Amino acid sequence: MLVKAITGFQDILPDRAARFARLEKTARDVFARYAYREIRVPEMEYTELFARGIGQTTDIVEKEMFTLQDSKGRAMSLRPEGTAGVVRAFIENGLATQDPQARLFYMGAMFRHEKPQKGRFRQFHQIGAEAFGSEDALLDAEVIAMLMDILREADVPGLRLEINSIGDDDSRGRFRKALVEYFEKHRDRLCKDCLRRLDTNPMRLLDCKVESCIGIVRSAPTILPFLNDDCAAHFDSVQNYLRAFGVEFFVNERIVRGLDYYTRTAFEVTTDRLGAQNAVAGGGRYDGLVESLGGPKVPGIGFAIGMERVVELMAERDEDAAQTASIMLVPMDENARRVCVRLAAAIRARGASCLVGVDGRSVKAQMKKADRAGARFALVIGEKELEEKRVDVKDMGENRLAPDGITPEDLAEMFAGAMAESGSAS
Ligand code: HAM
């Protein structure tokens, strides 16, 4: 009996994988233009890193991590997001002092034990970026502009960027007090989790998904009136720079984000084409995170894009289809197979893709294979071709995957060369 994949863990089959690769390439191109460099960090970290980084009382840490213990009983978790690990690496490898303004990007699998549904998985992939070392609002706007460039260049339709400021500790302290006062008045209608959050982390009530709480949250105080002058001026600047970058945005005072490390700028990008799980990217500033994870006082800002959701929306392109080889070689007997192997090597050495028929199947079956592979040229090679030292190059049609810079005449010549090399020339 087949052992099936784990619930919420997906296979990404070749056609879809081609779209993932296309999105990755788009992102890499954009990152290069903004002078970001790649960082690769482990997919598993000590649980404590996420607890301290993302916040002990967030949903992610409280109930969504895949956790196991090492032989010494120390808890380790599959990463539910990328920021905490990147910040740890930034500190642990000395970047925080040697390259405090590092601009980094990453791509890879993340793991959250959420209830799977359309657009929500337990293993999913993110493309993320983190920029360290500056509190300048210009950087906030530039990070957001970069994110929107990636999404636009990936052809994601129906995008909406919403931004907010969730202030610094000082502003949030006063906001939290107002929230507690407000929610205390509605205590009897709050869910069990929210009653607990009221003591531990009142801001987390704002993204409760329980129906009865949502109604109460709708009229709760919002953060902007509680911002101190510095935070308000910073938020104003972010908006001005976004306009200068030509990025369209909406201020949404309800955005609080589900992770505790955020300070000041917070943002989310949604699309109107996805249904319930409509967030394609999210991010924000985290000026206290490096310090709280044991590093120097270095501010940071970043975002992550949910790749599955973006790929779902990317238009299909011909290049994603199952076109795999530009040239098909069909050998009819053992001698021909040897020549084909040489010829294939020569073709591949010139950078073109090539398939050699195997299993001695009929010419008809092999031509069918050439057709499915999308090959532009097919060469059937048998006794006659070897004797006459010439081969017909069959052109399978214009709309096929043509080999770069290799003409039918080149192929005929390469065939003669392969024959000479393999010693089957006589
Ligand atoms: P996040 O908002 O938790 O932020 O996740 C970013 C994106 O990942 C979401 O907008 C969504 O597209 C995708 N995503 C999240 N959970 C799932 C899931 N279960 N299935 C499919 N897609 C999902 C972060 O992770 C922060 N680390 C972003 C950040 C970087 N902030 C600063 N730097």
Contact of 398 with 424, CB cutoff 8 Å: no
> Does 297 share its domain with 343?
no
Mean pLDDT value across residues 302-324: 84
Task: With a cut of 80, say whether residue 323 has pLDDT above it.
Answer: no
How large a percentage of the chain has pLDDT more than 70?
Answer: 98
**Any ligand 1 atom below 6 A from CB of 53:** no
- Supply the pLDDT for residue 426: 44
Ligand 1 center from residue 86 Cα (angstroms): 15
- Asked if residue 96 is part of any domain, the answer here is yes
> Does 244 share its domain with 308?
yes
Contact of 286 with 163, CB cutoff 8 Å: no
Domain that holds residue 257: 14-168+228-313
Q: What's 161's domain CATH number? A: 3.30.930.10
**Any ligand 1 atom below 6 A from CB of 262:** no
> Does 30 share its domain with 159?
yes
- Asked if residue 175 is part of any domain, the answer here is no
Contacts of 373 (CB under 8 A, 6+ apart): 322, 323, 324, 325, 328, 355
> Does 155 share its domain with 283?
yes
Task: With a cut of 60, say whether residue 50 has pLDDT above it.
Answer: yes
> Does 242 share its domain with 154?
yes
Q: What's 363's domain CATH number? A: 3.40.50.800
**Any ligand 1 atom below 6 A from CB of 112:** yes
- Asked if residue 73 is part of any domain, the answer here is yes
Contact of 330 with 379, CB cutoff 8 Å: yes
Mean pLDDT of the chain: 93
Give residue 208's pLDDT band: very low, low, confident or very high (50, 70, 90).
confident
Task: With a cut of 70, say whether residue 321 has pLDDT above it.
Answer: no
Q: In a 3-state reduction of DSSP, which class is residue 308?
A: helix
- Supply the pLDDT for residue 404: 83
> Does 410 share its domain with 271?
no
- Asked if residue 186 is part of any domain, the answer here is no
> Does 143 share its domain with 287?
yes
> Does 252 share its domain with 367?
no
- Asked if residue 178 is part of any domain, the answer here is no
Task: With a cut of 80, say whether residue 315 has pLDDT above it.
Answer: no
The length of the chain in residues reads 426
Q: Each residue of 362-412: pLDDT tens digit?
A: 889 999 989 888 899 999 999 999 999 999 999 998 878 788 889 999 999
Mean pLDDT value across residues 198-214: 89
- Asked if residue 179 is part of any domain, the answer here is no
Mean pLDDT value across residues 287-308: 97
Q: Each residue of 27-41: pLDDT tens digit?
A: 999 999 999 999 999
Instruction: Indicate which residue's Cα is closest to atom 13 of ligand 1.
Output: 306
For helices 334-349 and 408-422, the axis angle rounded to 10 degrees is: 120
Closest CA to 147 of 26, 325, 17: 26
> Does 234 share its domain with 147?
yes
Q: Which residue has the tokens 């998985």?
A: 121
- Supply the pLDDT for residue 130: 98
**Which of 313, 343, 374 is at the close of a domain?**
313
> Does 264 share its domain with 336?
no
**Which of 273, 290, 313 is at the close of a domain?**
313
> Of all helices (H) and strands (E), which one includes residue 78?
strand 75-78
- Bridge pairing between strands 263-271 and 159-165: antiparallel
- Asked if residue 5 is part of any domain, the answer here is no
Ligand 1 center from residue 130 Cα (angstroms): 13
Ligand 1 center from residue 303 Cα (angstroms): 8
**Any ligand 1 atom below 6 A from CB of 114:** yes
Give residue 424's pLDDT band: very low, low, confident or very high (50, 70, 90).
very low
- Bridge pairing between strands 327-331 and 354-356: parallel
Ligand 1 center from residue 281 Cα (angstroms): 6
Instruction: Indicate which residue's Cα is closest to atom 8 of ligand 1.
Output: 306
- Asked if residue 190 is part of any domain, the answer here is no
Ligand 1 center from residue 42 Cα (angstroms): 17
The structural domain count of the chain equals 2
> Does 20 share its domain with 163?
yes
Closest CA to 294 of 73, 128, 81, 97: 97
> Of all helices (H) and strands (E), which one includes residue 388?
helix 383-388
Rounded to a whole number of angstroms, the CA Rg of the chain reads 28
Please tell me the distance from the alpha carbon of residue 425 to that of residue 412, in angstroms, as a whole number: 14
**Which of 265, 289, 313 is at the close of a domain?**
313
Global confidence as pTM = 0.92
Contact of 422 with 331, CB cutoff 8 Å: no
> Does 99 share its domain with 236?
yes
- Supply the pLDDT for residue 318: 65
* DSSP sequence for 22-38: HHHHHHHHHHHHTT-EE
